[in-house]
């Protein structure tokens, strides 16, 4: 039987990509120190993109108003995808970004793979807002962003399509129940205030 030995450069060639892939799928990549220094603490997380699996750094959304939503494909509220996409398209030029986090935490209503979820969202609702790989949003295994959102707002998701609204500074977090649709006046009013906040500040200075 022949045996083979690999040199250290060759080992690095194979092991480093594997290690990188592990970090991506685990969702534990962090922004570089230079980026993290100016990025709000709440956004210093990175998660795998739903469509590509590549890491997406939340610090790229600093300065925007962010609506974070835990989603599911087989829920009574699933049609809210349409409202969320409409909201995103209407206000993205004013600084809104919607971030979707698929989760199977509630009644097993998101059982599919990331690929299946991505195809469902694209083909059924034409979703273009950023979405991330399936993860936990409640309980001991919830992802780091949701743990911090719960801490800051004092509320945890009790069902699919719970909504967290984050201001441009990444400090203030408002919480909205799953039953509240994206076009509800209460959500739209809160969103409008946050979108206009920086504009009003510039007028005063």
Give residue-wise pLDDT tens across range 10-19. 434 434 444 4
Looking at residue 27, what is its pLDDT?
44
Low-confidence ranges of the chain (pLDDT < 70): 1-36, 199-205
DSSP one-letter string for 20-69: HHHHHHHT-----HHHHHHS-GGG--EEEBTTT--EEEGGGGTTSEEEEE
User: What is the spatial distance between Cα 156 and Cα 147, in angstroms, rounded to a whole number?
Assistant: 8
- Pair 29, 22: CB distance under 8 Å: no
Q: What domains appear along the chain, each with residue ranges and CATH number?
A: 61-204 (3.40.30.10)
Active-site residue flag, 121: no
74, exposed or middle or buried, with CB in 10 Å at 0-12, 13-18, 19+? middle
pTM of the model: 0.81
Give residue-wise pLDDT tens across range 130-143. 999 999 999 999 99
């Amino acid at each position: 039987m022949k045996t083979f030995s690999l040199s250290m450069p060759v080992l690095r060639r194979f092991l480093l990509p594997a290690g990188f892939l592990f970090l991506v799928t685990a969702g534990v990549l962090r922004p570089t120190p230079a980026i993290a220094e100016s990025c709000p603490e709440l956004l210093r997380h990175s998660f795998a993109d739903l469509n590509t699996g590549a890491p997406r750094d939340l610090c790229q959304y600093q300065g925007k108003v962010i609506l974070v939503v835990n989603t599911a494909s087989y829920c009574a509220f699933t049609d809210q995808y349409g409202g969320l996409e409409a909201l995103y398209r209407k206000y993205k030029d004013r600084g809104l970004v919607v971030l979707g986090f698929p989760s199977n935490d509630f009644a097993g209503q998101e059982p599919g793979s990331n690929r299946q979820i991505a195809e469902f969202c694209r083909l059924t609702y034409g979703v273009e807002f950023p979405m991330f790989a399936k993860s936990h949003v409640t309980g001991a295994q919830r992802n780091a962003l949701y743990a911090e959102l719960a801490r800051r707002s004092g509320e945890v998701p009790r069902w699919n399509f719970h909504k967290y609204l984050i201001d441009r500074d990444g400090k203030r977090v408002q919480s909205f129940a799953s039953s509240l649709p994206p076009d509800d006046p209460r959500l739209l009013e809160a969103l409008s205030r946050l979108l206009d906040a920086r504009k009003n500040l510039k007028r005063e200075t």
